[in-house]
Chains A and B, each alone.
Chain A
Amino acid sequence: MHKYLKRFVHKSPWLYRINAGSCNGCDVELATTALIPRYDVERLGCKYCGSPRHADIVLISGPLTTRVKERVLRVYEEIPRPKITVAVGICPISGGVFRDSYSIEGPMDRYIPIDVNVPGCPPRPQAIMEGILKACEIWKKRIVEVA
Protein backbone atom coordinates (compact mmCIF):
# COMPACT_ATOMS: atom_id res chain seq x y z
CA MET A 1 0.00 0.00 0.00
CA HIS A 2 2.70 2.41 1.05
CA LYS A 3 4.78 1.50 -1.96
CA TYR A 4 1.81 2.05 -4.24
CA LEU A 5 1.18 5.48 -2.73
CA LYS A 6 4.79 6.47 -3.22
CA ARG A 7 4.28 6.40 -6.95
CA PHE A 8 2.20 9.56 -6.67
CA VAL A 9 4.64 11.50 -4.54
CA HIS A 10 6.40 13.28 -7.35
CA LYS A 11 3.12 14.70 -8.59
CA SER A 12 3.05 17.42 -5.99
CA PRO A 13 6.39 19.20 -5.93
CA TRP A 14 6.17 22.29 -3.80
CA LEU A 15 8.73 24.90 -4.72
CA TYR A 16 10.68 27.18 -2.48
CA ARG A 17 12.92 29.96 -3.69
CA ILE A 18 16.17 30.93 -2.02
CA ASN A 19 17.76 34.12 -3.25
CA ALA A 20 21.46 33.82 -2.48
CA GLY A 21 22.41 37.32 -3.59
CA SER A 22 20.86 37.11 -7.02
CA CYS A 23 20.38 40.15 -9.24
CA ASN A 24 16.63 39.33 -9.29
CA GLY A 25 16.68 38.37 -12.96
CA CYS A 26 16.26 34.68 -12.25
CA ASP A 27 13.73 35.43 -9.51
CA VAL A 28 11.60 37.31 -12.00
CA GLU A 29 11.72 34.34 -14.34
CA LEU A 30 10.76 32.04 -11.45
CA ALA A 31 7.81 34.26 -10.62
CA THR A 32 6.91 34.23 -14.30
CA THR A 33 6.55 30.46 -14.34
CA ALA A 34 3.98 30.69 -11.57
CA LEU A 35 2.10 33.87 -12.34
CA ILE A 36 1.78 34.02 -16.10
CA PRO A 37 -1.02 31.83 -17.46
CA ARG A 38 1.11 30.96 -20.46
CA TYR A 39 3.52 28.84 -18.41
CA ASP A 40 1.30 27.79 -15.47
CA VAL A 41 3.62 25.75 -13.31
CA GLU A 42 0.61 24.72 -11.21
CA ARG A 43 -0.27 22.26 -13.96
CA LEU A 44 2.61 20.08 -12.77
CA GLY A 45 1.14 20.21 -9.27
CA CYS A 46 3.70 22.78 -8.21
CA LYS A 47 2.97 25.47 -5.69
CA TYR A 48 5.27 28.21 -4.50
CA CYS A 49 5.19 28.04 -0.74
CA GLY A 50 6.25 30.76 1.64
CA SER A 51 7.72 28.57 4.34
CA PRO A 52 10.84 26.42 3.89
CA ARG A 53 9.16 23.74 6.03
CA HIS A 54 6.69 23.00 3.26
CA ALA A 55 9.20 22.77 0.44
CA ASP A 56 10.20 19.76 -1.65
CA ILE A 57 12.16 21.34 -4.47
CA VAL A 58 14.47 24.22 -3.60
CA LEU A 59 15.25 26.67 -6.34
CA ILE A 60 18.42 28.59 -5.59
CA SER A 61 19.39 31.67 -7.55
CA GLY A 62 22.38 33.94 -7.01
CA PRO A 63 26.10 33.39 -6.55
CA LEU A 64 26.11 32.97 -2.73
CA THR A 65 27.55 36.23 -1.50
CA THR A 66 29.56 36.32 1.70
CA ARG A 67 26.88 38.26 3.51
CA VAL A 68 24.05 35.90 2.71
CA LYS A 69 25.93 32.61 3.06
CA GLU A 70 25.09 31.84 6.70
CA ARG A 71 21.42 32.63 6.18
CA VAL A 72 21.16 30.49 3.07
CA LEU A 73 22.70 27.52 4.85
CA ARG A 74 20.35 28.03 7.81
CA VAL A 75 17.25 28.20 5.63
CA TYR A 76 18.45 25.16 3.70
CA GLU A 77 18.70 23.20 6.95
CA GLU A 78 15.07 24.07 7.76
CA ILE A 79 13.76 22.18 4.75
CA PRO A 80 12.49 18.69 5.59
CA ARG A 81 13.98 15.72 3.79
CA PRO A 82 13.76 14.44 1.08
CA LYS A 83 14.67 17.68 -0.68
CA ILE A 84 15.84 18.25 -4.23
CA THR A 85 17.93 21.30 -5.06
CA VAL A 86 17.86 23.08 -8.39
CA ALA A 87 20.42 25.76 -9.20
CA VAL A 88 18.71 28.34 -11.40
CA GLY A 89 20.92 30.55 -13.53
CA ILE A 90 24.64 30.43 -14.05
CA CYS A 91 25.47 32.27 -10.80
CA PRO A 92 24.85 29.41 -8.36
CA ILE A 93 26.32 26.89 -10.80
CA SER A 94 29.67 28.52 -11.51
CA GLY A 95 29.59 32.05 -10.16
CA GLY A 96 28.84 33.41 -13.61
CA VAL A 97 29.96 36.95 -14.26
CA PHE A 98 30.66 37.41 -10.54
CA ARG A 99 33.16 34.57 -10.36
CA ASP A 100 36.41 35.31 -8.51
CA SER A 101 34.92 38.40 -6.88
CA TYR A 102 36.08 39.14 -3.33
CA SER A 103 32.53 38.99 -1.99
CA ILE A 104 31.46 35.74 -3.60
CA GLU A 105 31.77 32.51 -1.67
CA GLY A 106 31.93 30.64 -4.88
CA PRO A 107 29.84 28.02 -6.57
CA MET A 108 26.87 26.79 -4.56
CA ASP A 109 27.84 23.12 -4.71
CA ARG A 110 30.74 23.84 -2.39
CA TYR A 111 28.23 24.17 0.47
CA ILE A 112 24.91 22.70 -0.70
CA PRO A 113 24.43 19.47 -2.64
CA ILE A 114 22.91 20.49 -5.97
CA ASP A 115 20.92 17.99 -8.05
CA VAL A 116 19.93 19.82 -11.19
CA ASN A 117 21.55 22.77 -12.96
CA VAL A 118 19.56 25.12 -15.18
CA PRO A 119 22.08 27.40 -16.91
CA GLY A 120 21.05 30.72 -18.39
CA CYS A 121 21.31 34.37 -17.52
CA PRO A 122 18.41 34.19 -16.81
CA PRO A 123 17.08 30.86 -18.11
CA ARG A 124 13.80 30.83 -20.03
CA PRO A 125 10.70 29.94 -18.02
CA GLN A 126 10.41 26.81 -20.14
CA ALA A 127 13.97 25.85 -19.27
CA ILE A 128 13.15 26.25 -15.57
CA MET A 129 10.11 24.01 -15.97
CA GLU A 130 12.32 21.46 -17.71
CA GLY A 131 14.67 21.62 -14.74
CA ILE A 132 11.78 21.11 -12.32
CA LEU A 133 10.66 18.05 -14.28
CA LYS A 134 14.21 16.66 -14.11
CA ALA A 135 14.23 17.30 -10.37
CA CYS A 136 10.92 15.41 -10.04
CA GLU A 137 12.46 12.42 -11.77
CA ILE A 138 15.44 12.45 -9.42
CA TRP A 139 13.04 12.71 -6.49
CA LYS A 140 11.08 9.70 -7.76
CA LYS A 141 14.26 7.63 -8.01
CA ARG A 142 15.41 8.68 -4.56
CA ILE A 143 12.11 7.75 -2.91
CA VAL A 144 12.15 4.31 -4.50
CA GLU A 145 15.72 3.79 -3.29
CA VAL A 146 14.78 4.72 0.26
CA ALA A 147 11.78 2.36 0.27
Chain B
Amino acid sequence: MLPFLKILVRNIIKGPATEAFPFGETYTPKRLRGRAELDPSRCLTCGICSHVCAGGAIAMTESADGRGMEFRLWHNTCTFCGLCEHYCPANAITMTNDWHLSHEQSEKYTCCEVQFVEYPVCEKCGERMLPRLHQRLSKGLVGSVSTAEIMRICPDCRRLTSAMHQIKSKVSLTAGRSNS
Protein backbone atom coordinates (compact mmCIF):
# COMPACT_ATOMS: atom_id res chain seq x y z
CA MET B 1 0.00 0.00 0.00
CA LEU B 2 1.13 3.53 -0.77
CA PRO B 3 4.36 2.65 -2.57
CA PHE B 4 5.19 6.33 -3.02
CA LEU B 5 5.98 6.61 0.68
CA LYS B 6 8.84 4.18 0.18
CA ILE B 7 10.17 6.32 -2.66
CA LEU B 8 9.91 9.48 -0.59
CA VAL B 9 11.78 7.91 2.31
CA ARG B 10 14.46 6.70 -0.08
CA ASN B 11 14.72 10.19 -1.58
CA ILE B 12 15.24 11.75 1.83
CA ILE B 13 17.90 9.20 2.78
CA LYS B 14 19.78 9.57 -0.50
CA GLY B 15 19.81 13.34 -0.25
CA PRO B 16 19.63 15.91 -3.04
CA ALA B 17 20.91 14.92 -6.48
CA THR B 18 21.32 18.53 -7.58
CA GLU B 19 24.66 19.44 -9.06
CA ALA B 20 26.47 22.48 -7.75
CA PHE B 21 26.32 24.23 -11.09
CA PRO B 22 25.45 27.90 -10.76
CA PHE B 23 27.67 28.12 -7.69
CA GLY B 24 30.20 25.45 -8.59
CA GLU B 25 31.45 23.13 -11.28
CA THR B 26 29.32 20.95 -13.50
CA TYR B 27 30.08 17.84 -15.46
CA THR B 28 30.67 18.36 -19.17
CA PRO B 29 31.01 15.26 -21.35
CA LYS B 30 34.20 15.19 -23.37
CA ARG B 31 32.43 14.69 -26.68
CA LEU B 32 29.75 17.32 -26.11
CA ARG B 33 29.36 19.43 -29.22
CA GLY B 34 29.70 23.03 -28.16
CA ARG B 35 31.40 26.06 -29.68
CA ALA B 36 33.13 25.27 -33.00
CA GLU B 37 36.76 26.30 -33.42
CA LEU B 38 38.97 26.70 -36.46
CA ASP B 39 42.69 26.08 -36.58
CA PRO B 40 43.80 28.57 -39.26
CA SER B 41 47.14 26.85 -39.82
CA ARG B 42 45.34 23.74 -41.09
CA CYS B 43 42.49 25.32 -43.04
CA LEU B 44 42.61 24.82 -46.82
CA THR B 45 39.91 27.45 -47.49
CA CYS B 46 38.06 24.84 -49.55
CA GLY B 47 34.70 26.05 -48.24
CA ILE B 48 33.07 22.67 -47.76
CA CYS B 49 32.18 23.71 -44.20
CA SER B 50 30.05 26.62 -45.33
CA HIS B 51 28.53 24.39 -47.99
CA VAL B 52 27.33 21.72 -45.56
CA CYS B 53 26.48 24.04 -42.66
CA ALA B 54 22.85 23.40 -41.67
CA GLY B 55 22.27 26.78 -40.09
CA GLY B 56 24.21 28.77 -42.64
CA ALA B 57 26.51 29.97 -39.91
CA ILE B 58 29.82 29.91 -41.76
CA ALA B 59 30.88 32.62 -44.18
CA MET B 60 34.22 32.68 -45.96
CA THR B 61 35.25 35.90 -47.64
CA GLU B 62 38.46 36.70 -49.38
CA SER B 63 40.16 39.80 -48.10
CA ALA B 64 40.36 42.75 -50.48
CA ASP B 65 44.14 42.70 -50.76
CA GLY B 66 44.17 38.98 -51.56
CA ARG B 67 46.31 38.17 -48.53
CA GLY B 68 43.99 35.43 -47.38
CA MET B 69 40.51 34.27 -46.49
CA GLU B 70 38.43 35.37 -43.53
CA PHE B 71 36.55 32.54 -41.80
CA ARG B 72 33.55 33.75 -39.80
CA LEU B 73 31.28 31.41 -37.82
CA TRP B 74 28.31 33.06 -36.07
CA HIS B 75 27.51 31.01 -32.97
CA ASN B 76 24.03 32.50 -32.83
CA THR B 77 22.89 30.47 -35.80
CA CYS B 78 25.07 27.39 -35.35
CA THR B 79 23.11 24.25 -34.52
CA PHE B 80 26.12 22.37 -33.16
CA CYS B 81 25.38 19.59 -35.64
CA GLY B 82 29.08 18.96 -36.27
CA LEU B 83 28.75 18.54 -40.04
CA CYS B 84 31.56 21.00 -40.64
CA GLU B 85 33.86 18.99 -38.42
CA HIS B 86 32.83 15.78 -40.15
CA TYR B 87 33.37 17.06 -43.67
CA CYS B 88 36.50 19.12 -43.10
CA PRO B 89 39.22 17.39 -45.17
CA ALA B 90 42.05 18.88 -43.12
CA ASN B 91 40.53 18.46 -39.63
CA ALA B 92 40.81 22.20 -39.22
CA ILE B 93 37.37 22.61 -37.57
CA THR B 94 36.78 21.00 -34.19
CA MET B 95 33.71 21.14 -31.97
CA THR B 96 34.96 21.97 -28.49
CA ASN B 97 32.91 21.08 -25.43
CA ASP B 98 32.65 24.71 -24.35
CA TRP B 99 28.96 25.60 -23.89
CA HIS B 100 29.31 28.94 -22.06
CA LEU B 101 27.80 30.86 -24.92
CA SER B 102 25.06 32.93 -23.31
CA HIS B 103 25.69 36.63 -23.81
CA GLU B 104 23.98 39.98 -23.58
CA GLN B 105 22.17 41.49 -26.52
CA SER B 106 24.95 44.03 -27.13
CA GLU B 107 27.30 41.17 -27.99
CA LYS B 108 24.85 39.50 -30.35
CA TYR B 109 26.76 40.15 -33.55
CA THR B 110 30.21 39.83 -32.05
CA CYS B 111 29.60 36.35 -30.69
CA CYS B 112 31.58 34.85 -33.57
CA GLU B 113 34.53 32.62 -34.28
CA VAL B 114 36.66 34.80 -36.56
CA GLN B 115 39.90 33.50 -37.99
CA PHE B 116 42.06 34.83 -40.77
CA VAL B 117 43.56 32.13 -42.94
CA GLU B 118 46.57 33.66 -44.58
CA TYR B 119 47.53 32.36 -48.00
CA PRO B 120 51.05 30.95 -48.00
CA VAL B 121 53.72 32.56 -50.14
CA CYS B 122 55.41 30.70 -52.98
CA GLU B 123 59.03 30.09 -52.11
CA LYS B 124 60.18 30.68 -55.65
CA CYS B 125 58.28 33.63 -57.04
CA GLY B 126 56.77 35.18 -53.86
CA GLU B 127 53.18 35.09 -55.16
CA ARG B 128 50.25 34.19 -52.87
CA MET B 129 48.75 30.76 -53.43
CA LEU B 130 46.03 28.53 -51.95
CA PRO B 131 47.07 26.59 -48.87
CA ARG B 132 47.83 22.88 -49.30
CA LEU B 133 47.94 19.85 -47.09
CA HIS B 134 51.52 20.34 -45.91
CA GLN B 135 51.41 17.90 -43.09
CA ARG B 136 49.91 14.95 -44.86
CA LEU B 137 51.88 15.09 -48.04
CA SER B 138 55.26 15.84 -46.56
CA LYS B 139 56.58 12.36 -47.26
CA GLY B 140 57.10 10.53 -50.51
CA LEU B 141 57.67 11.63 -54.04
CA VAL B 142 55.45 12.74 -56.86
CA GLY B 143 57.33 11.39 -59.79
CA SER B 144 60.85 12.20 -58.81
CA VAL B 145 60.08 15.50 -57.10
CA SER B 146 59.88 15.67 -53.30
CA THR B 147 56.32 16.55 -52.33
CA ALA B 148 57.30 18.72 -49.43
CA GLU B 149 59.24 20.85 -51.80
CA ILE B 150 56.64 21.08 -54.53
CA MET B 151 53.86 21.93 -52.09
CA ARG B 152 55.59 25.05 -50.92
CA ILE B 153 55.52 26.68 -54.35
CA CYS B 154 52.68 28.06 -56.42
CA PRO B 155 51.06 26.08 -59.29
CA ASP B 156 52.87 28.08 -61.95
CA CYS B 157 56.27 27.47 -60.45
CA ARG B 158 55.24 23.88 -59.83
CA ARG B 159 54.50 23.32 -63.50
CA LEU B 160 57.86 24.80 -64.32
CA THR B 161 59.70 22.64 -61.80
CA SER B 162 57.86 19.56 -62.96
CA ALA B 163 58.73 20.27 -66.57
CA MET B 164 62.34 20.79 -65.65
CA HIS B 165 62.36 17.51 -63.77
CA GLN B 166 60.76 15.72 -66.66
CA ILE B 167 63.45 16.89 -69.01
CA LYS B 168 66.10 15.80 -66.54
CA SER B 169 64.51 12.41 -65.88
CA LYS B 170 64.10 11.74 -69.61
CA VAL B 171 67.80 12.19 -69.97
CA SER B 172 68.52 9.92 -67.05
CA LEU B 173 65.89 7.37 -68.16
CA THR B 174 67.40 6.94 -71.58
CA ALA B 175 70.77 6.65 -69.90
CA GLY B 176 69.40 3.94 -67.59
CA ARG B 177 67.84 1.96 -70.44
CA SER B 178 71.03 1.85 -72.39
CA ASN B 179 72.78 0.58 -69.24
CA SER B 180 70.41 -2.38 -68.79
Binding site for B on A (CB under 8 A): 37-40, 43-44, 90, 93-97, 99, 109, 113-121, 123-124, 126-131, 133-134, 138
CB distance from B170 to the nearest CB of A (A): 57
Contacts of B104 in A (CB 8 A): 115-117, 134, 138
Q: Given A109-B105, A119-B101, 18 other A-B contacts at CB below 8 A?
A: A38-B18, A39-B21, A90-B79, A93-B76, A94-B77, A96-B77, A99-B77, A116-B104, A117-B111, A119-B111, A120-B99, A123-B99, A126-B26, A127-B101, A127-B102, A130-B22, A130-B100, A134-B103
Is the CB–CB distance between A118 and B22 below 8 Å? no
B79 touches A121 (CB 8 A): yes
B108 closest partner in A (C-beta): A117
Grouping DSSP codes into helix (H, G, I), strand (E, B) and loop, the B interface class, with mixed when no group exceeds half, is loop
Which 3 residue pairs of A and B lie closest in terms of their CB atoms, listed nearest first? A121-B79, A131-B102, A94-B77
- Give chain B nearest CB distance to A111 CB in angstroms: 14
| Chain A residue contacts of B16, Cβ below 8 A | 37, 40
B155 within 8 A of A: no
Q: Complex: how many Å from CA A127 to CA B75?
A: 14
Contact of B56 among A43, A99, A109, A129 (CB under 8 A): A99
Chain B residues whose CB sits within 8 angstroms of the CB of A99 once the complex forms? 55-56, 77
Write the chain B residue with the least CB distance to A86.
B102
Question: Which listed residue, B17, B18, B102, touches A117 by the CB 8 Å rule?
Answer: B102
Which residues of chain B come closer than 8 Å to A131, judged between CB atoms? 102
**Interchain CB contact under 8 A, A43 and B103:** no
**A97 adjacent to B99 (CB under 8 Å):** no
**Quick one: which of B16, B55, B74, B100 has the most chain A CB within 10 A?**
B55
CB of B76 within 8 A of CB of A117, answer yes
Contacts of B65 in A (CB 8 A): none
Q: Is the CB of A93 within 8 A of B108?
A: yes
Q: Determine if B102 and A118 form an interchain contact, defined as CB atoms under 8 angstroms apart.
A: yes
B109 CB to nearest A CB, Å: 10
Q: Tell me whether B108 and A43 are in contact (CB under 8 A).
A: no
Whether A115 contacts B76 by the Cβ 8 Å rule is no
B130 on interface, CB distance cutoff 8 Å: no
Report A-chain residues with C-beta under 8 Å of the C-beta of B103: 116-117, 134
Across the interface, A40 reaches (CB within 8 A) one of B18, B78, B102, B111, namely B18
Is there contact, CB below 8 Å, between B56 and A127?
no
Given known contacts A99-B56, A115-B105, A117-B108, A90 and B99 CB-to-CB distance under 8 angstroms: no
Which residue on A lies nearest to B19, using beta carbons? A38
State whether B18 touches A121 (Cβ < 8 A).
Answer: no
Does the CB pair B79–A97 fall under 8 Å? yes
